[in-house]
Amino acid sequence: MSQITLNNVSFHYSTPYQEIFRSLSVSIPDDWKAALIGRNGRGKTTLFKLLTGIEKPSSGAVSIPFEVKYFPYLPKNPGEAAQRVIKESIAPYSFWEEKMNLLLEKGDDESLREYSVYFDLYMHHDGYIIDSIIEREADRIGLDAEVLNRPFDTLSGGEKTRALILPLFLRKDSFPLIDEPTDHLDLSGREYLAECLAGNKKGFIVASHDRYLLDRCTDHVISINKTGIKVMQGNYSAWKYQSDIEEEFEQRRYDNIQREINSLEKAAQQRRKWSDSKEKEKSGAPDSGFVSHKAAKMMKRATSIERRIENNIENKKDLLRNKERELSLRMKASLKMPERLISVNGLNVRLNENEILSGVYLNVFKGDRIAITGSNGCGKTTLLNAIEGTVPVKEGDIFVAPNIKISRAYQNPLWQTGLLKDHLFEAGLDMTNFRFVMSALEMTGEIFDHPLETFSKGQLRKIDLCRSIVSSPQLLIWDEPLNYLDISSREQLEEFLISQKPTIIFVEHDRFFIEAVATEVIRLEKPGE
Protein backbone atom coordinates (compact mmCIF):
# COMPACT_ATOMS: atom_id res chain seq x y z
CA MET A 1 0.00 0.00 0.00
CA SER A 2 1.34 3.42 -1.01
CA GLN A 3 0.81 6.43 1.20
CA ILE A 4 1.35 10.15 1.47
CA THR A 5 3.79 10.97 4.27
CA LEU A 6 4.49 14.30 5.95
CA ASN A 7 7.45 14.06 8.30
CA ASN A 8 7.97 16.88 10.81
CA VAL A 9 6.74 19.48 8.31
CA SER A 10 6.65 23.17 9.20
CA PHE A 11 5.45 25.91 6.89
CA HIS A 12 5.05 29.67 7.06
CA TYR A 13 4.29 32.50 4.67
CA SER A 14 6.93 35.22 4.67
CA THR A 15 5.17 38.43 3.56
CA PRO A 16 3.64 39.01 6.00
CA TYR A 17 4.94 36.29 8.29
CA GLN A 18 2.24 33.76 9.13
CA GLU A 19 2.95 30.34 10.57
CA ILE A 20 0.55 27.67 9.26
CA PHE A 21 2.08 24.35 10.37
CA ARG A 22 4.71 23.41 12.93
CA SER A 23 6.31 19.94 13.20
CA LEU A 24 3.43 18.27 11.37
CA SER A 25 3.62 14.50 10.88
CA VAL A 26 0.90 12.37 9.30
CA SER A 27 0.55 9.38 6.93
CA ILE A 28 -2.39 9.00 4.52
CA PRO A 29 -2.74 5.65 2.67
CA ASP A 30 -3.85 5.86 -0.96
CA ASP A 31 -7.01 3.81 -0.33
CA TRP A 32 -8.45 6.27 2.21
CA LYS A 33 -11.52 8.25 1.26
CA ALA A 34 -10.53 11.06 3.55
CA ALA A 35 -12.36 14.23 4.59
CA LEU A 36 -10.10 17.21 5.33
CA ILE A 37 -11.85 19.57 7.72
CA GLY A 38 -10.94 22.64 9.77
CA ARG A 39 -11.95 26.23 10.24
CA ASN A 40 -11.28 28.87 7.60
CA GLY A 41 -7.61 29.83 7.80
CA ARG A 42 -6.42 26.59 9.43
CA GLY A 43 -4.40 25.62 6.32
CA LYS A 44 -6.45 23.14 4.29
CA THR A 45 -5.61 24.74 0.94
CA THR A 46 -2.00 25.24 2.07
CA LEU A 47 -1.76 21.53 2.84
CA PHE A 48 -2.98 20.74 -0.68
CA LYS A 49 -0.37 23.12 -2.09
CA LEU A 50 2.32 21.26 -0.16
CA LEU A 51 1.06 17.93 -1.49
CA THR A 52 1.02 19.16 -5.10
CA GLY A 53 4.42 20.84 -4.82
CA ILE A 54 3.08 24.36 -5.40
CA GLU A 55 4.54 25.26 -1.99
CA LYS A 56 7.65 23.80 -0.33
CA PRO A 57 7.93 23.10 3.41
CA SER A 58 9.94 25.53 5.51
CA SER A 59 11.37 22.40 7.12
CA GLY A 60 10.63 18.68 7.11
CA ALA A 61 9.77 16.45 4.16
CA VAL A 62 6.73 15.53 2.05
CA SER A 63 6.77 12.15 0.30
CA ILE A 64 4.18 11.10 -2.32
CA PRO A 65 5.03 7.97 -4.37
CA PHE A 66 2.19 8.46 -6.88
CA GLU A 67 0.60 11.17 -9.03
CA VAL A 68 -1.84 13.60 -7.42
CA LYS A 69 -4.33 15.88 -9.18
CA TYR A 70 -5.74 19.05 -7.64
CA PHE A 71 -9.29 20.40 -7.97
CA PRO A 72 -10.20 23.12 -8.85
CA TYR A 73 -7.75 23.75 -11.67
CA LEU A 74 -7.50 26.28 -14.49
CA PRO A 75 -8.07 24.80 -17.96
CA LYS A 76 -5.20 25.40 -20.37
CA ASN A 77 -7.52 26.76 -23.07
CA PRO A 78 -10.72 28.11 -21.46
CA GLY A 79 -11.89 29.58 -24.77
CA GLU A 80 -12.38 26.11 -26.25
CA ALA A 81 -15.66 24.17 -26.16
CA ALA A 82 -16.49 22.75 -22.75
CA GLN A 83 -16.36 19.16 -24.05
CA ARG A 84 -12.82 19.65 -25.35
CA VAL A 85 -11.74 21.29 -22.09
CA ILE A 86 -13.12 18.30 -20.15
CA LYS A 87 -11.47 15.82 -22.53
CA GLU A 88 -8.03 17.43 -22.39
CA SER A 89 -8.30 17.67 -18.59
CA ILE A 90 -8.61 13.88 -18.45
CA ALA A 91 -5.56 13.08 -20.57
CA PRO A 92 -3.56 14.65 -23.49
CA TYR A 93 -5.66 12.99 -26.20
CA SER A 94 -4.92 15.60 -28.88
CA PHE A 95 -1.18 15.23 -28.34
CA TRP A 96 -1.40 11.44 -28.50
CA GLU A 97 -3.54 11.54 -31.65
CA GLU A 98 -1.16 13.94 -33.39
CA LYS A 99 1.86 11.89 -32.35
CA MET A 100 0.35 8.62 -33.55
CA ASN A 101 -0.56 10.12 -36.93
CA LEU A 102 2.99 11.39 -37.44
CA LEU A 103 4.53 8.06 -36.46
CA LEU A 104 2.21 6.16 -38.80
CA GLU A 105 3.18 8.47 -41.66
CA LYS A 106 6.86 7.69 -41.08
CA GLY A 107 6.12 3.95 -41.02
CA ASP A 108 9.65 2.73 -40.15
CA ASP A 109 10.22 0.09 -37.49
CA GLU A 110 11.35 2.53 -34.80
CA SER A 111 8.35 4.80 -35.43
CA LEU A 112 5.95 1.87 -35.30
CA ARG A 113 7.43 0.70 -31.99
CA GLU A 114 6.99 4.21 -30.58
CA TYR A 115 3.48 4.29 -32.07
CA SER A 116 2.54 1.15 -30.10
CA VAL A 117 3.52 2.91 -26.85
CA TYR A 118 1.22 5.85 -27.55
CA PHE A 119 -1.51 3.54 -28.81
CA ASP A 120 -1.44 1.57 -25.54
CA LEU A 121 -1.71 4.83 -23.60
CA TYR A 122 -4.59 5.97 -25.78
CA MET A 123 -6.44 2.69 -25.33
CA HIS A 124 -5.79 2.57 -21.57
CA HIS A 125 -7.46 5.97 -21.28
CA ASP A 126 -10.49 4.98 -23.43
CA GLY A 127 -9.40 7.26 -26.27
CA TYR A 128 -11.79 5.89 -28.88
CA ILE A 129 -14.86 6.14 -26.67
CA ILE A 130 -13.98 9.04 -24.36
CA ASP A 131 -16.33 11.49 -26.12
CA SER A 132 -19.35 9.25 -25.57
CA ILE A 133 -18.27 8.66 -21.94
CA ILE A 134 -18.06 12.44 -21.37
CA GLU A 135 -21.51 12.96 -22.89
CA ARG A 136 -23.00 10.21 -20.72
CA GLU A 137 -21.51 11.55 -17.48
CA ALA A 138 -22.31 15.15 -18.44
CA ASP A 139 -25.95 14.20 -18.80
CA ARG A 140 -25.89 12.57 -15.37
CA ILE A 141 -24.49 15.70 -13.74
CA GLY A 142 -26.87 18.02 -15.59
CA LEU A 143 -24.84 19.36 -18.53
CA ASP A 144 -26.65 18.93 -21.83
CA ALA A 145 -25.15 18.94 -25.33
CA GLU A 146 -25.78 22.65 -25.79
CA VAL A 147 -23.62 23.45 -22.75
CA LEU A 148 -20.86 21.07 -23.87
CA ASN A 149 -20.62 22.85 -27.22
CA ARG A 150 -20.34 26.33 -25.71
CA PRO A 151 -16.95 27.96 -24.95
CA PHE A 152 -15.96 26.99 -21.43
CA ASP A 153 -15.35 30.58 -20.34
CA THR A 154 -18.98 31.50 -21.14
CA LEU A 155 -20.43 28.96 -18.69
CA SER A 156 -22.00 29.95 -15.38
CA GLY A 157 -20.22 29.23 -12.10
CA GLY A 158 -22.31 26.11 -11.49
CA GLU A 159 -21.80 24.85 -15.06
CA LYS A 160 -18.03 25.34 -14.81
CA THR A 161 -17.91 23.44 -11.52
CA ARG A 162 -19.86 20.55 -13.06
CA ALA A 163 -17.61 20.46 -16.11
CA LEU A 164 -14.42 20.44 -14.03
CA ILE A 165 -15.75 17.73 -11.72
CA LEU A 166 -16.11 15.20 -14.56
CA PRO A 167 -12.35 14.69 -15.15
CA LEU A 168 -11.95 13.80 -11.45
CA PHE A 169 -13.77 10.54 -12.07
CA LEU A 170 -12.73 9.88 -15.65
CA ARG A 171 -8.98 10.22 -15.08
CA LYS A 172 -7.02 7.06 -14.42
CA ASP A 173 -3.98 6.39 -12.26
CA SER A 174 -4.13 9.58 -10.15
CA PHE A 175 -5.03 10.46 -6.56
CA PRO A 176 -7.50 13.41 -6.37
CA LEU A 177 -7.03 16.31 -3.96
CA ILE A 178 -10.43 18.00 -4.02
CA ASP A 179 -10.74 21.51 -2.55
CA GLU A 180 -14.28 22.85 -1.95
CA PRO A 181 -16.06 21.13 -4.86
CA THR A 182 -19.64 22.04 -3.86
CA ASP A 183 -19.61 25.83 -4.18
CA HIS A 184 -22.21 26.84 -6.83
CA LEU A 185 -23.44 23.23 -7.06
CA ASP A 186 -27.15 22.57 -6.57
CA LEU A 187 -28.53 19.54 -4.72
CA SER A 188 -28.54 17.27 -7.78
CA GLY A 189 -24.92 18.18 -8.57
CA ARG A 190 -23.89 17.45 -5.00
CA GLU A 191 -25.73 14.15 -5.09
CA TYR A 192 -23.84 13.15 -8.24
CA LEU A 193 -20.54 14.21 -6.68
CA ALA A 194 -21.23 12.20 -3.50
CA GLU A 195 -22.21 9.14 -5.54
CA CYS A 196 -19.06 9.29 -7.66
CA LEU A 197 -16.77 9.84 -4.68
CA ALA A 198 -18.39 7.01 -2.74
CA GLY A 199 -18.29 4.47 -5.55
CA ASN A 200 -15.91 5.37 -8.33
CA LYS A 201 -12.59 6.13 -6.69
CA LYS A 202 -10.18 4.00 -4.70
CA GLY A 203 -8.96 6.91 -2.64
CA PHE A 204 -8.95 10.71 -2.38
CA ILE A 205 -8.80 13.66 0.01
CA VAL A 206 -11.73 16.06 -0.12
CA ALA A 207 -11.87 19.39 1.74
CA SER A 208 -15.49 20.40 2.02
CA HIS A 209 -17.91 22.11 4.38
CA ASP A 210 -20.87 20.09 3.08
CA ARG A 211 -21.57 17.67 5.92
CA TYR A 212 -23.99 15.53 3.89
CA LEU A 213 -21.33 15.00 1.22
CA LEU A 214 -18.70 14.06 3.81
CA ASP A 215 -21.05 11.59 5.47
CA ARG A 216 -21.91 9.97 2.13
CA CYS A 217 -18.45 9.35 0.76
CA THR A 218 -15.67 9.38 3.39
CA ASP A 219 -14.26 6.72 5.71
CA HIS A 220 -11.57 8.80 7.49
CA VAL A 221 -11.44 12.36 8.81
CA ILE A 222 -8.29 14.49 8.89
CA SER A 223 -9.03 17.47 11.11
CA ILE A 224 -6.71 20.48 11.26
CA ASN A 225 -6.92 22.00 14.73
CA LYS A 226 -5.14 24.85 16.49
CA THR A 227 -2.35 22.51 17.62
CA GLY A 228 -1.91 20.25 14.59
CA ILE A 229 -3.62 17.42 12.72
CA LYS A 230 -5.73 14.61 14.12
CA VAL A 231 -6.82 11.54 12.14
CA MET A 232 -9.87 9.41 12.92
CA GLN A 233 -11.59 6.52 11.16
CA GLY A 234 -15.21 7.12 10.19
CA ASN A 235 -17.27 9.77 8.42
CA TYR A 236 -17.98 13.34 9.52
CA SER A 237 -20.86 12.47 11.88
CA ALA A 238 -18.70 9.87 13.65
CA TRP A 239 -15.90 12.42 13.99
CA LYS A 240 -18.32 15.07 15.29
CA TYR A 241 -19.74 12.68 17.89
CA GLN A 242 -16.28 11.73 19.15
CA SER A 243 -15.10 15.35 19.07
CA ASP A 244 -18.07 16.48 21.17
CA ILE A 245 -17.35 13.77 23.76
CA GLU A 246 -13.69 14.79 24.01
CA GLU A 247 -14.61 18.46 24.25
CA GLU A 248 -17.11 17.77 27.04
CA PHE A 249 -14.49 15.73 28.93
CA GLU A 250 -11.90 18.49 28.57
CA GLN A 251 -14.44 21.09 29.70
CA ARG A 252 -15.08 19.11 32.91
CA ARG A 253 -11.32 18.94 33.57
CA TYR A 254 -11.07 22.66 32.92
CA ASP A 255 -13.89 23.42 35.36
CA ASN A 256 -12.36 21.22 38.09
CA ILE A 257 -8.94 22.83 37.80
CA GLN A 258 -10.50 26.30 37.76
CA ARG A 259 -12.28 25.54 41.04
CA GLU A 260 -9.03 24.25 42.53
CA ILE A 261 -7.17 27.38 41.44
CA ASN A 262 -9.82 29.61 42.99
CA SER A 263 -9.52 27.70 46.26
CA LEU A 264 -5.72 27.88 46.24
CA GLU A 265 -5.76 31.59 45.47
CA LYS A 266 -8.01 32.25 48.44
CA ALA A 267 -5.69 30.21 50.66
CA ALA A 268 -2.64 32.08 49.37
CA GLN A 269 -4.30 35.44 49.99
CA GLN A 270 -5.09 34.46 53.61
CA ARG A 271 -1.50 33.39 54.19
CA ARG A 272 -0.16 36.61 52.69
CA LYS A 273 -2.41 38.61 55.03
CA TRP A 274 -1.22 36.56 58.02
CA SER A 275 2.42 36.99 56.98
CA ASP A 276 1.97 40.76 56.55
CA SER A 277 0.35 41.06 59.96
CA LYS A 278 3.24 39.14 61.56
CA GLU A 279 5.73 41.46 59.88
CA LYS A 280 3.94 44.39 61.50
CA GLU A 281 3.98 42.60 64.89
CA LYS A 282 7.71 41.95 64.50
CA SER A 283 8.58 45.65 64.24
CA GLY A 284 6.98 46.43 67.61
CA ALA A 285 7.67 43.17 69.44
CA PRO A 286 10.37 43.07 72.23
CA ASP A 287 11.63 39.70 70.94
CA SER A 288 11.20 39.85 67.17
CA GLY A 289 13.28 36.73 66.44
CA PHE A 290 10.46 34.25 67.08
CA VAL A 291 7.87 36.36 65.24
CA SER A 292 10.25 36.91 62.31
CA HIS A 293 10.87 33.17 62.07
CA LYS A 294 7.11 32.47 62.05
CA ALA A 295 6.52 35.16 59.38
CA ALA A 296 9.28 33.77 57.16
CA LYS A 297 7.88 30.26 57.53
CA MET A 298 4.38 31.40 56.55
CA MET A 299 5.76 33.41 53.62
CA LYS A 300 7.57 30.31 52.42
CA ARG A 301 4.33 28.31 52.59
CA ALA A 302 2.47 31.10 50.73
CA THR A 303 5.15 31.14 48.03
CA SER A 304 4.88 27.37 47.66
CA ILE A 305 1.12 27.66 47.22
CA GLU A 306 1.65 30.37 44.61
CA ARG A 307 3.92 28.03 42.66
CA ARG A 308 1.23 25.35 42.78
CA ILE A 309 -1.27 27.90 41.43
CA GLU A 310 1.08 28.88 38.60
CA ASN A 311 1.65 25.24 37.68
CA ASN A 312 -2.09 24.62 37.61
CA ILE A 313 -2.57 27.68 35.40
CA GLU A 314 -0.05 26.20 32.95
CA ASN A 315 -1.92 22.89 33.07
CA LYS A 316 -5.13 24.76 32.38
CA LYS A 317 -3.58 26.28 29.24
CA ASP A 318 -2.89 22.79 27.92
CA LEU A 319 -6.52 21.84 28.42
CA LEU A 320 -9.07 22.64 25.74
CA ARG A 321 -6.11 23.05 23.38
CA ASN A 322 -8.36 22.44 20.38
CA LYS A 323 -11.52 24.02 21.74
CA GLU A 324 -12.42 26.98 19.58
CA ARG A 325 -13.56 30.22 21.14
CA GLU A 326 -17.22 30.66 20.26
CA LEU A 327 -19.70 33.45 20.85
CA SER A 328 -23.37 33.31 19.99
CA LEU A 329 -24.79 35.39 17.17
CA ARG A 330 -27.52 37.75 18.26
CA MET A 331 -29.87 40.10 16.41
CA LYS A 332 -31.84 42.96 17.91
CA ALA A 333 -35.50 42.01 17.75
CA SER A 334 -37.95 44.20 15.87
CA LEU A 335 -40.62 45.60 18.19
CA LYS A 336 -43.38 45.72 15.57
CA MET A 337 -43.92 43.25 12.80
CA PRO A 338 -47.01 42.35 10.75
CA GLU A 339 -48.16 38.74 10.67
CA ARG A 340 -47.92 38.51 6.88
CA LEU A 341 -44.79 40.00 5.32
CA ILE A 342 -44.76 38.66 1.74
CA SER A 343 -47.33 37.19 -0.63
CA VAL A 344 -46.44 36.03 -4.17
CA ASN A 345 -49.33 34.96 -6.43
CA GLY A 346 -48.90 33.48 -9.91
CA LEU A 347 -45.55 35.16 -10.54
CA ASN A 348 -44.14 34.98 -14.08
CA VAL A 349 -40.81 36.61 -14.98
CA ARG A 350 -39.23 36.92 -18.42
CA LEU A 351 -35.73 38.23 -19.06
CA ASN A 352 -34.57 38.82 -22.65
CA GLU A 353 -37.55 36.81 -23.94
CA ASN A 354 -36.54 33.86 -21.77
CA GLU A 355 -39.09 32.60 -19.25
CA ILE A 356 -37.28 32.40 -15.92
CA LEU A 357 -40.18 31.92 -13.48
CA SER A 358 -43.65 30.62 -14.16
CA GLY A 359 -46.62 30.27 -11.82
CA VAL A 360 -44.82 30.86 -8.51
CA TYR A 361 -46.85 31.11 -5.30
CA LEU A 362 -45.34 31.95 -1.92
CA ASN A 363 -46.50 33.33 1.45
CA VAL A 364 -44.13 34.48 4.18
CA PHE A 365 -45.50 34.96 7.71
CA LYS A 366 -43.81 36.20 10.87
CA GLY A 367 -41.29 33.62 12.12
CA ASP A 368 -41.13 31.63 8.85
CA ARG A 369 -37.77 30.30 7.69
CA ILE A 370 -38.37 29.42 4.06
CA ALA A 371 -35.76 27.60 1.99
CA ILE A 372 -35.88 28.08 -1.79
CA THR A 373 -34.33 25.10 -3.59
CA GLY A 374 -34.04 23.85 -7.16
CA SER A 375 -31.50 23.16 -9.88
CA ASN A 376 -29.07 25.79 -11.15
CA GLY A 377 -30.84 28.14 -13.53
CA CYS A 378 -34.38 27.60 -12.22
CA GLY A 379 -34.78 31.23 -11.09
CA LYS A 380 -34.08 31.14 -7.35
CA THR A 381 -32.09 34.38 -7.32
CA THR A 382 -34.58 35.94 -9.74
CA LEU A 383 -37.37 35.22 -7.24
CA LEU A 384 -35.43 36.99 -4.49
CA ASN A 385 -34.80 39.93 -6.83
CA ALA A 386 -38.51 40.11 -7.69
CA ILE A 387 -39.46 40.22 -4.00
CA GLU A 388 -36.88 42.95 -3.45
CA GLY A 389 -38.28 44.80 -6.46
CA THR A 390 -35.14 44.84 -8.63
CA VAL A 391 -36.54 42.87 -11.61
CA PRO A 392 -39.70 43.72 -13.56
CA VAL A 393 -42.74 41.50 -13.02
CA LYS A 394 -44.90 41.05 -16.12
CA GLU A 395 -47.55 38.74 -14.68
CA GLY A 396 -48.72 37.95 -11.17
CA ASP A 397 -48.74 39.91 -7.94
CA ILE A 398 -46.18 40.48 -5.19
CA PHE A 399 -47.40 41.94 -1.89
CA VAL A 400 -44.78 43.30 0.50
CA ALA A 401 -46.05 44.57 3.87
CA PRO A 402 -45.66 48.36 4.04
CA ASN A 403 -42.77 49.89 6.00
CA ILE A 404 -41.01 46.59 6.74
CA LYS A 405 -37.22 46.60 6.75
CA ILE A 406 -35.64 43.96 4.49
CA SER A 407 -31.95 43.09 4.61
CA ARG A 408 -30.30 41.12 1.81
CA ALA A 409 -27.13 39.02 1.78
CA TYR A 410 -25.96 38.32 -1.75
CA GLN A 411 -24.21 35.49 -3.60
CA ASN A 412 -21.46 38.02 -4.33
CA PRO A 413 -20.85 40.09 -1.17
CA LEU A 414 -21.94 43.72 -1.40
CA TRP A 415 -18.69 45.13 0.02
CA GLN A 416 -15.53 43.83 -1.68
CA THR A 417 -13.31 46.90 -1.98
CA GLY A 418 -12.26 49.78 0.23
CA LEU A 419 -12.22 49.93 4.03
CA LEU A 420 -14.89 48.25 6.14
CA LYS A 421 -15.16 51.20 8.53
CA ASP A 422 -15.99 53.51 5.62
CA HIS A 423 -18.77 51.23 4.45
CA LEU A 424 -20.18 51.03 7.99
CA PHE A 425 -20.21 54.82 8.29
CA GLU A 426 -21.98 55.23 4.94
CA ALA A 427 -24.55 52.56 5.87
CA GLY A 428 -25.14 54.09 9.32
CA LEU A 429 -24.24 50.85 11.13
CA ASP A 430 -22.82 50.75 14.65
CA MET A 431 -19.15 49.72 14.60
CA THR A 432 -19.18 48.26 18.13
CA ASN A 433 -22.16 46.04 17.43
CA PHE A 434 -20.66 45.03 14.10
CA ARG A 435 -17.37 44.06 15.78
CA PHE A 436 -19.21 41.92 18.34
CA VAL A 437 -21.08 39.98 15.64
CA MET A 438 -17.90 39.60 13.60
CA SER A 439 -16.06 38.19 16.63
CA ALA A 440 -18.80 35.57 16.97
CA LEU A 441 -17.91 34.56 13.41
CA GLU A 442 -14.20 34.31 14.34
CA MET A 443 -13.14 37.59 12.72
CA THR A 444 -11.17 39.76 15.13
CA GLY A 445 -8.16 42.06 15.07
CA GLU A 446 -7.74 45.12 12.89
CA ILE A 447 -10.52 44.17 10.46
CA PHE A 448 -11.63 47.80 10.06
CA ASP A 449 -8.24 49.07 8.87
CA HIS A 450 -7.37 46.47 6.20
CA PRO A 451 -8.55 46.85 2.58
CA LEU A 452 -11.36 44.44 1.76
CA GLU A 453 -9.39 43.40 -1.33
CA THR A 454 -7.01 41.55 1.03
CA PHE A 455 -9.79 39.49 2.65
CA SER A 456 -10.55 35.87 1.72
CA LYS A 457 -13.83 34.84 0.12
CA GLY A 458 -14.94 33.31 3.42
CA GLN A 459 -14.17 36.54 5.29
CA LEU A 460 -16.09 38.64 2.75
CA ARG A 461 -19.03 36.26 3.10
CA LYS A 462 -19.01 36.69 6.89
CA ILE A 463 -18.89 40.46 6.53
CA ASP A 464 -21.91 40.40 4.21
CA LEU A 465 -23.90 38.22 6.61
CA CYS A 466 -22.89 40.44 9.53
CA ARG A 467 -24.00 43.54 7.59
CA SER A 468 -27.36 41.87 7.09
CA ILE A 469 -27.77 40.87 10.73
CA VAL A 470 -26.75 44.13 12.46
CA SER A 471 -29.15 46.25 10.42
CA SER A 472 -31.99 44.87 12.62
CA PRO A 473 -34.32 43.91 9.77
CA GLN A 474 -37.79 42.46 9.99
CA LEU A 475 -37.08 40.15 7.04
CA LEU A 476 -33.78 38.55 6.03
CA ILE A 477 -33.22 37.50 2.42
CA TRP A 478 -30.07 35.39 1.99
CA ASP A 479 -28.78 34.01 -1.32
CA GLU A 480 -26.49 30.98 -0.81
CA PRO A 481 -25.16 32.28 2.54
CA LEU A 482 -22.95 29.26 3.22
CA ASN A 483 -20.60 29.55 0.24
CA TYR A 484 -16.97 29.52 1.47
CA LEU A 485 -17.99 29.17 5.14
CA ASP A 486 -16.43 26.48 7.33
CA ILE A 487 -18.55 23.92 9.17
CA SER A 488 -18.30 25.71 12.53
CA SER A 489 -19.61 28.95 11.02
CA ARG A 490 -22.45 27.04 9.36
CA GLU A 491 -23.40 25.53 12.70
CA GLN A 492 -23.31 28.98 14.30
CA LEU A 493 -25.72 30.28 11.66
CA GLU A 494 -27.99 27.29 12.30
CA GLU A 495 -27.99 28.03 16.04
CA PHE A 496 -28.65 31.71 15.34
CA LEU A 497 -31.66 31.06 13.08
CA ILE A 498 -33.16 28.45 15.42
CA SER A 499 -32.65 30.42 18.66
CA GLN A 500 -33.31 33.98 17.43
CA LYS A 501 -36.17 32.95 15.11
CA PRO A 502 -35.82 35.75 12.53
CA THR A 503 -38.15 35.70 9.55
CA ILE A 504 -36.04 34.67 6.58
CA ILE A 505 -36.19 33.54 2.96
CA PHE A 506 -32.99 31.84 1.86
CA VAL A 507 -31.55 29.99 -1.11
CA GLU A 508 -29.21 27.18 -0.14
CA HIS A 509 -27.99 23.75 -1.32
CA ASP A 510 -26.58 22.46 2.00
CA ARG A 511 -28.91 19.62 2.94
CA PHE A 512 -27.90 19.59 6.63
CA PHE A 513 -28.53 23.33 6.93
CA ILE A 514 -31.93 23.18 5.21
CA GLU A 515 -33.12 20.27 7.35
CA ALA A 516 -31.91 21.99 10.53
CA VAL A 517 -33.45 25.44 10.10
CA ALA A 518 -36.18 25.54 7.44
CA THR A 519 -39.83 25.64 8.54
CA GLU A 520 -40.87 25.27 4.89
CA VAL A 521 -39.09 24.23 1.67
CA ILE A 522 -40.16 25.62 -1.72
CA ARG A 523 -38.70 23.84 -4.76
CA LEU A 524 -38.62 25.73 -8.04
CA GLU A 525 -38.63 24.01 -11.42
CA LYS A 526 -37.38 25.38 -14.71
CA PRO A 527 -40.35 26.47 -16.88
CA GLY A 528 -41.39 23.57 -19.08
CA GLU A 529 -39.94 20.85 -16.82
Q: How confident is the model at residue 291 (pLDDT cuts 50, 70, 90)?
A: low
pLDDT digits (tens, 9 = 90+) for 252-280: 777 777 777 677 667 667 766 666 665 56
Q: Cβ–Cβ contacts within 10 Å for residue 25, how many? A: 12
Nearest Cα neighbor of 61 from 37, 33, 26, 13 is 26
Residue-wise pLDDT tens digits, 45-97: 899 999 999 999 999 999 999 989 998 888 888 999 999 999 999 999 999 99
pLDDT tens for 20-44 read 898 999 999 999 999 999 887 788 8
What is the spatial distance between Cα 21 and Cα 31, in angstroms, rounded to a whole number? 25
**How far separated are the first and last CA of the chain, in Å rounded?**
48
* Residue 451 DSSP code: B
What is the dihedral angle through the alpha carbons of 74, 410, 518, 218, rounded to the nearest 10 degrees? 20
Instruction: Give 374-403 as a 3 state SS string.
Output: CCCCCCHHHHHHHHHCCCCCCEEEEEECCC
Alpha-carbon distance of 174 to 204, in angstroms, equals 9
Q: Which residues contact 220 (CB under 8 A, 6 or more apart)?
A: 32, 33, 34, 35, 231, 232, 233, 234
What mean pLDDT comes out for the span 302-308? Answer: 62
The DSSP 8-state label assigned to residue 333 in this structure reads P
Q: Out of 241-250, 416-425, 483-492, which region has the weakest mean confidence (pLDDT)?
A: 241-250
> pLDDT per residue over 454-478, tens digit each?
888 888 999 999 999 988 889 999 9
Are 213 and 226 within 8 A, CB to CB?
no
For residue 253, the model assigns a pLDDT of: 75
Q: Out of 132-141, 302-311, 417-426, which region has the weakest mean confidence (pLDDT)?
A: 302-311
- How high is the pLDDT of residue 222? 95
Above 60 in pLDDT, residue 304? yes
Helices 82-90/157-170 angle, 10° precision: 30
pLDDT digit string, tens, across residues 175-222: 999 998 987 788 888 988 998 898 866 899 999 999 999 999 999 999
Confidence at 320, pLDDT banded by 50, 70, 90: very low
- pTM: predicted TM-score of the whole model, two decimal places: 0.76
Q: What does pLDDT average to over the chain?
A: 85
- CA separation for the pair 292, 262 (Å, rounded): 29
Q: Is the pLDDT score of 316 beyond 60?
A: no
pLDDT at 528 over 70: no
Share of the chain above pLDDT 70, in %: 86
Torsion angle of C-alpha atoms 205, 211, 212, 215, degrees rounded to 10: 50
Helices (H), 471-519: 487-500, 511-517
CATH code that applies to domain 340-523: 3.40.50.300
Q: Each residue of 322-372: pLDDT tens digit? A: 455 555 677 766 667 889 999 999 988 887 777 888 889 999 999 999 999
Residues contacting 435, CB < 8 A, separation 6+:
447, 448
Give pLDDT, residue 465.
Answer: 93
* pLDDT greater than 70 at residue 245: yes
The C-alpha atoms of residue 386 and residue 396 are separated, in whole angstroms, by: 11
Is domain 50-235 given the CATH code 3.40.50.300 in the classification? yes
